[in-house]
Structure 1
Amino acid sequence: MEQLVDTVTDTGFLIAVFAAISAAAVVFSVGASFLSGGTTVKQRIKRVALEREKMRAEEMARLRGNNAEQRSSMRQAMSRSYMRNVVEKFSLQKAFADEGTIEALARAGYRGQGPLTTYLFLRFATPIALFFVAFGYLSLTVFAGKPLYLNALYALMIGLVGAYLPVLVLKNKTLKRQASVRRAWPDTLDLMLLCVESGMSVENAFRRVAREIGAQSPELAEELTLTNAELAFLEDRTRAYDNLGKRTGLDNVKSVMTALIQADRYGTSVGQALRVMAEEGREQRMMEAEKKAASLPPKLTVPLIIFFLPVLFIVIISPAIIRIFANGGLGGG
């Protein structure tokens, strides 16, 4: 018993025991990390993806502001089953849609299958609805005494014109959206240049600029947010840049995205590319301002002749006319 106690209390024995325990702990820790490494990486990737999706949803809700509920209800209305049934029953996608329809809807801010279904349904239903409305209105009011076939002919013409009404509405929406993006794009380039040169990554720069530019152009901020999400999820980053150029449909945006694609493909400086494009954007904006200023004189010529010159002549000639009539006319003494 005393020998066992001496052995246990021996310094060399205790050092050997603690060294063995430490070695076993190290081996166990390293082995556990190797065994659970794949699972941990997968869990981290999943958490990062969920976090990015949550941030994207919050950013989109913030950019849309008070219109979030309205747009949500519009999307629900777009995906109604009866519209989809009508589109599938009459094969409207083959009749009214082509390769550029989805891109045209995306340029107007409508993405997904719901807006496409609604657009095709409106292309089909609008002329029919206008025909019946115009026929009833003409038959009961304007052309009440005319034959029904004549009213039907007029209503048919109105219905044919109404077939292009959804196209005009979509084009108007696209032009307004592109005008908003075009106005805010030079400032966006300057902000992106500052973010990239300060050390931010392209993804963080897109997210930061989208947050800052939202007050000036919510449409552009939404597009930048979508691009940031695509940069995070798509395997090919060039697709995200190319999609932004297609969604906006603007040459300025496409040229910048082409420069970013080349910088990402060949490993050149993103900051240098953005600096060059930002300078070109400022020069182009200055040229547009000078062009508008140069076009003012021709535009002001007609208003000056119609409104300004007659008043000027009256002011100049009226004292002489008043004095002539006060003296009894031209022949008065």
Structure 2
Amino acid sequence: MSLLGPGFLLSAAVFATAVLLFLVAGFLLTPVLQTRRQITEQLLAQGIKSRRSLEAQTELTRIAARRPVEAYFKAIEKENSQPDALEAKLFRAGFHQPSAPVVYIALRIGFVVIGFLAAYVVLSNLLPPRLPAFLTFGGSFLLGLGCIVIPSIALDRFENAQKQKYRRGFPDFMDMMLTCADAGMSLEAAVERVSSELAGTHKALGVQLAIMTLQMRAGKPLRDALRELADRIGIEEARSLAVLFRQSEELGTSLTEALRVYSDEMRTQRILRAEEKANALPVKMVLPLGLCVFPVVLMIVMLPVIIRMKGIFF
């Protein structure tokens, strides 16, 4: 029991954390250094010697925009062979680095180790010493094992945050598509132009549209590319747009008019969502008002009365 005291476990936790941080830093820095060397070689091959020149900055921006696209195609290849591939889920959550799966697995292991050691230190100090040691060890093991879900929950939150980014940028995408269609551009050319324009304002949606553009260049029909776009970003607006395009092609109706009607519906839905959040705000403000504001107001109101009663009664 003396060998597994709180001091020993604390030292073990510090050592395990240091090793974990060293491994994570190694997995993160090695791909970064390799990528930096490859970019330098590309710039030198094009005759650009300084990374600070305007040509170099333009080329670096272009390379940075291509990285998520290349990461997607690598992830989709693995997803075809493994339907529940971790790389595809990490890509949907916005992590495009090649070392992201290794870092994710290392974080899960690290949370288990740190949770176990922290729980053991706490339980050994709180529980009576007469209890058997295996109860403390077993409880710490269960609590540490429960910490394995923390990275999964964080990954789901990142994925939901990406969906919110897509949802905020989708109305702008529809407006720009409608403008390009009114100008006489084909829908394929409109998607390519809009994807380049949205890369600066809505980067996440611009990356997905760039992937869709490459798929259409490879010969995939527009409605199939839209359906896969809806599957990638996972929002209802994209699925409705894919269904709208398929029905317009099957029925022979005007796609421009369909886009205009759907764009108006999306604006109406955005207004309704804003009104829904505004109506829910008073209910959400009840708890902070009751805990923070109401005691202060009560103190300000009652303090003069208490001071006057002090002079009269006591």
Which bracket does the TM-score occupy, shorter chain normalised? Answer: 0.5 to 0.7
Q: For 1:203, give the aligned amino acid.
A: E
**1 CA distance for matches of 2:83 and 2:278?**
41
Q: Percent identity?
A: 27
Q: Residue 201 of structure 2 aligns to a residue in which SS? A: coil
With 283-292 and 266-275 compared, the bigger mean Cα shift is at 266-275
Shift of 1:292: 1.2
Shift of 1:272: 1.2
Whether the 8 Å CA contact 2:188–2:222 is kept in 1: the answer is no
- Cα shift at 1:198: 1.3
Cα shift at 1:277: 1.2
Uncovered stretches (5+) of structure 2, i.e. residues with no partner: 1-57
1:143 equivalent in alignment to 2:128 = no
Give the equivalent residue in structure 2 for 1:52: none
Per the normalisation by structure 1, the TM-score is 0.58
1:286 aligns with 2:267: no
1:199 maps onto 2:180 in alignment: no
Give 2:25's aligned residue: none
TM-score by length of structure 2 reads: 0.61
Partner of 1:186: 171
Q: Which residue of 1 aligns with 2:245?
A: 260
* Contact 2:165-2:204 within 8 A present in 1 as well: yes
- Structure 1 counterpart of 2:30: none
8 Å contact 1:139–1:148 — kept in the other structure? no
Structure 2 counterpart of 1:276, from 244, 257, 261: 261
* Alpha-carbon distance in 1 for matches of 2:306, 2:148: 61
Equivalent-residue separation in structure 1 for 2:289 and 2:133 (angstroms): 51
Q: After superposition, where does 1:21-36 map in structure 2 within 5 Å?
A: none
Match of 2:214 in 1: 229
Q: Residue in 1 aligned with 2:234?
A: 249
1:122 and 1:166 in contact (8 A); partners too:
yes
1:1-333 pair list within 5 angstroms: 61-62=61-62, 64=64, 98=83, 104-109=89-94, 118=101, 130-133=111-114, 143=124, 149-150=134-135, 152-316=137-301, 329=312
Q: 1:59 to 1:296 in 2, by over 3 A?
A: farther
**Residue deviations 1:65-89 (CA, integer Å, cap 9, x gap):** 6x96xx79xx7xx99xxxxxxxxxx
- Rounded Cα–Cα distance in structure 2 between residues aligned with 1:323 and 1:104: 66
Decide whether aligned partners of structure 1 residues 164 and 214 sit closer, same or farther in structure 2, where only a CA change above 3 A counts.
Answer: same
Question: C-alpha offsets along residues 221-241 of structure 1, whole Å, 9 cap, x if unaligned?
Answer: 111111111122134332211
In the alignment, what sits opposite 2:16?
none
- 2-structure distance, mates of 1:59, 1:255: 36
How many corresponding residue pairs? 248
RMSD (Å) for aligned C-alpha atoms: 4.4
Aligned CA distance change for structure 1 residues 157 and 127 (closer, same or farther; 3 Å): farther
Q: CA deviation at 1:253?
A: 1.2
Distance in 1 of aligned mates of 2:275 and 2:121: 55
Q: Distance in 1 between matches of 2:60 and 2:227?
A: 21
Query: In the TM superposition, what whole-angstrom CA distance separates every residue of 1:140-166 from its partner, at most 9, and x where no partner exists?
Result: 786398876445524532453244344
Deviations 1:184-219 (A, max 9, x none): 111221121111111122122222222333333211
| CA distance in structure 2 between the partners assigned to 1:154 and 1:282 by the alignment | 53
What is the CA-CA distance between 1:129 and the residue it aligns to?
5.2
The structure number with the bigger radius of gyration is 1
Contact 1:60 1:222 in 2 (8 A): no
One-letter amino acid matched to 1:195 = C
- CA contact 1:184–1:220 (8 Å) conserved in 2: yes
Closer, same or farther: CA 254–64 of 1 in aligned 2, 3 Å: farther
